Structure 1
């Protein structure tokens, strides 16, 4: 099964790019962010025409998240995080799809830092961490997917020294991401590419994509049952080079139907031979 995340940066304005990528990549499940469209403007008919069901949580001009599926129905379980006092920002949607529980999210940017927007980001992150713990405790095959607006390490940002004061690279934000992983989540892309320079976002300015001056801010986090099934994780970086494309590229993983078999050590192999 192939699951993807894609910050489309305007689902209607970039609909031809989205449909082209869906046709080319054919992911089974997709989480979208930054729809920038109210619920009534979501292009359901066009997305259905290429074989996908959809649920969405829209907002005029800003934010907005959706989940698409071509492998069965989408049973929505939640929109918005628990105890969120600001329900005007559409940033989280959760659903059961084809045996998985998927939380699609668009974490706040937080700039400028310090300030109210950064404070809101950290409060939202805290609520996400609390909800993530409850999801893990369920024991279900769960993933958290989307634009986290976090570069977890210096390896995830071009010229990190230029980003020290930015809300995407702030020590508090990276520490919050580390706390999330410490619960037991696996960062799928980094797990499959532990030492590579790999980005998911390139600014429109200063020829960033051509220079590969990017950031890794789009993540797929897997609960232990799903981490055991992880087969592949990649970035469709070429999509960023298409005309009128988003400043993000789609990121996807492939899961095996069953957990990977662990390699036996010499002692185990000897024991089996007896």
Structure 2
């Protein structure tokens, strides 16, 4: 059975982490498990500075919504995985959209496109870099909640239009205590507060499915570790990077996993990629 592999990764600066991205994509292909679509977050550069050429040489087309110094998101699709009718960059990403319609925001945090891969029905792919929030009660936290509220309306409309949808990205929300290395230490804090988790559960109530939890996972599996205080070495992490899928994709999902390997490399991102495998 043919399968497709789709990933999300907060690279925490594409300029710094481009060698890691290219190395990781090459390693996956060398294992005969190429990544067919990947959503990237926290690019930290404008579109004109994005390494389109280097990534295309590696076999991928890209679309970008960038911002100087902060934020920024991108979608990459493997050229060889595209259907015959979408063989160029202009047609690889259909119904391309930046940010949440109707929500005024200078920060570049959301990008969406419809992608046609070989031998499967089109996928609506939404990549988001959710606001961090900084601290409960702060102005940034208030912005985060407003952004999440706007996202709910957008997702509801998207699900009405697209039955095969993936929402990937750095959500900056650890949905349950099992997604936190020390729940007692984190009670009421940013990233785990009830106000934030409420929106994650609302997305599930809307029909979106946390694909990672469809499969048996090793306890204390996380996707982010603080650079400070040897967070990765101590596995003091959080699972805040997610791939939510629509019900039409649930039976097609074969596996979802976190790949910690790039987090072990020199000068890594503080996040690890999350990968879902989908059957045709």
Which residue in the other structure is 1:267 paired with? none
1:76 positional shift? 4.3
Question: Quick check: 1:233 aligned with 2:256?
Answer: yes
Question: Quick check: 1:30 aligned with 2:38?
Answer: yes
Mapped partners of 1:236, 1:199: distance in 2: 10
Which residue in the other structure is 1:212 paired with? 235
Mapped partners of 2:213, 2:226: distance in 1: 21
1:140 positional shift? 2.2
- Does structure 2 conserve the Cα–Cα contact (< 8 Å) formed by 1:6 and 1:251? yes
Which residue in the other structure is 2:181 paired with? 158
Deviation string 1:199-253 (CA, Å, 9 cap, x unpaired) is: 1011111111111111000000000111121001011112101111100000000
Matched residue SS, 2:153: helix
Report which stretch shifted further, 60-69 or 155-164: 155-164
Mapped partners of 2:186, 2:101: distance in 1: 31
For the aligned residue pairs, the C-alpha RMSD in angstroms reads 1.2
Mapped partners of 2:202, 2:234: distance in 1: 32
Relative to structure 1, is the Cα distance of residues 107 and 194 closer, same or farther in structure 2, using a 3 angstrom cutoff? same
Q: What is the number of residues matched between the two proteins?
A: 256
Q: How does 1:1-16 map to 2 (within 5 A)?
A: 1-16=4-19
Mapped partners of 2:154, 2:67: distance in 1: 22
Mapped partners of 1:252, 1:12: distance in 2: 22
- Does structure 2 conserve the Cα–Cα contact (< 8 Å) formed by 1:17 and 1:244? no
- Does structure 1 conserve the Cα–Cα contact (< 8 Å) formed by 2:113 and 2:125? yes
- Does structure 2 conserve the Cα–Cα contact (< 8 Å) formed by 1:156 and 1:199? yes
Which residue in the other structure is 1:260 paired with? none
Matched residue SS, 1:252: strand
Matched residue SS, 1:206: helix
Matched residue SS, 2:19: helix
From 60, 64, 78, the counterpart of 2:68: 60
Q: How does 1:108-257 map to 2 (within 5 A)?
A: 108-193=131-216, 196-257=219-280
Mapped partners of 1:162, 1:47: distance in 2: 41
- Does structure 1 conserve the Cα–Cα contact (< 8 Å) formed by 2:124 and 2:162? no
Which residue in the other structure is 2:102 paired with? 83
Matched residue SS, 2:111: strand
Matched residue SS, 1:210: coil
Mapped partners of 1:111, 1:84: distance in 2: 21
Which residue in the other structure is 1:272 paired with? none
Gaps of 5+ in 2: 29-33, 83-91, 117-121
Matched residue SS, 1:110: coil
What is the TM-score when the length of structure 2 is the normalising length?
0.89
Deviation string 1:124-144 (CA, Å, 9 cap, x unpaired) is: 001111111112222421110
What is the TM-score when the length of structure 1 is the normalising length?
0.91
